[in-house]
Amino acid sequence: MKHIINATVENQPGVLARVVSLFSGRGYNIDTLNVGPSADPMLSKMTITLNGEANVIEQVTKQLNKLIDVIKVVELTSIEHLERELILIEVAAPKGKRSEIVELAALFDAAIVGVRERSLTLQYVGTHAQVEDFVKLLRPYTIFDLSRSGLIAVARGD
């Protein structure tokens, strides 16, 4: 099962390395990792997604909480939350297929951020599932390049 963990950490050198070491040292594979500043410039927010059994994730969360630079850890999977992922994707767009790609982009509310003679670069923001669907529909057009931000998430409500 996919799990989403949010960790608020001190914005200090080496914190990311210590967090990643905790996971790799125990044989856990991180699917996505996104780190950025929070509202407080002294803190950063990490969003980590990984697969595993609930009891294993609970153990990792407890160990994460023990790290000195970690302020707060929240496992978002079972609580109400919002999640988004950004994708930039360059696809082949020959003259006869370009309008199809533009229509598909419009259906998904994706933005065309780059136009070249033989390709279009699209930007799309959605949930992980929506991004997967978008990429799946673009595969027949030949994907030249693909970059994904990884998941970011926030808890909703209290």
What are the sequence ranges of the domains in the chain? 2-75, 82-155
Distance CA 65, CA 62 (A): 5
Considering the domain 82-155 in this protein, what is its CATH number?
A: 3.30.70.1150
> Which of the listed CATH numbers 3.40.190.10, 3.30.70.260, 2.40.160.20, 3.40.50.300 matches domain 2-75?
3.30.70.260
Cα–Cα–Cα angle for 148, 151, 153, nearest 5°? 150
Cβ-contact 83, 152 below 8 angstroms: yes
Per-residue pLDDT of the chain (158 residues; tens, 9 = 90+): 889 999 999 999 999 999 998 888 878 888 999 999 999 999 999 999 988 888 878 888 898 999 999 999 999 988 999 999 999 999 999 989 999 999 999 999 999 999 999 999 999 999 999 999 999 999 999 999 999 999 999 998 76
